[in-house]
Amino acid sequence: MINYPNGMNRRTLTHTSTSHARRGMRLEDWLNESNEYYLNRGIAVIHKKPTPIQIVKVDYPKRSAVKITEAYYKEASTTDYNGVYNGLYLDFEAKTTKLKTRFPLDNFSHHQIQHMDACEKQGGISFVIMYFKHYELCYLVPFSLIKEYWDNRKLKQSIPYDVIAHSSFPIRMGYLPRLAYIEAVDHYLDFLKEDSDESIEK
């Protein structure tokens, strides 16, 4: 088990007040707003990947016009977001759950795990942003933790909430940005550097 000390008090990162409208917003909306904030301020360039679409039927109402009349969303084979921050390639998935005690591994596809693993092997930073609706808490969960449980999913089909809370990095939720996940990325990078320095000393 890999434990990532977040060095932060989770209680100080919760909402001080939450309106019904705010609760109804999706994690994707929060991330898109946050990414626009980071882009406009020159902090990071992160974008949501378009959802693949399977076109089934096309009409040609005019010779110069094409109209898609039937199409279906295909299951994404990679992750939701990617981009560059401070010279580093970031690639991450966004997940929301209503469950209180665990996060089921069947929320991931084999292709997504393979993709994040490949990104990490190329020197990128892969992670999952998880929002637990019951607690109104959001975490940056390192890919290494996801992969540890994924590789042992025949024994455990989910990651306990307590493990996620202890081994991940809380994301401050507020107004500008809506989700300060770049702060959590910085904490994660600091941890990786400290862990690497300790390994060198040994």
The string of pLDDT tens digits covering residues 152-171 is: 998 999 999 999 999 999 99
Residue 128 domain boundaries: 15-48+77-201
Task: Say if strands 137-142 and 125-132 run parallel, antiparallel, or are unpaired.
Answer: antiparallel
pTM comes to 0.77
Q: What does the pLDDT read at residue 62? A: 72
Q: What does the pLDDT read at residue 134? A: 95
For residue 37, is it within any domain?
A: yes
For residue 131, is it within any domain?
A: yes
Backbone angles phi, psi at 162, to 5 degrees: -60, -35
Q: Which amino acid is at 52?
A: P
For residue 2, is it within any domain?
A: no
> What's the CATH code of the domain at 84?
3.40.1350.10
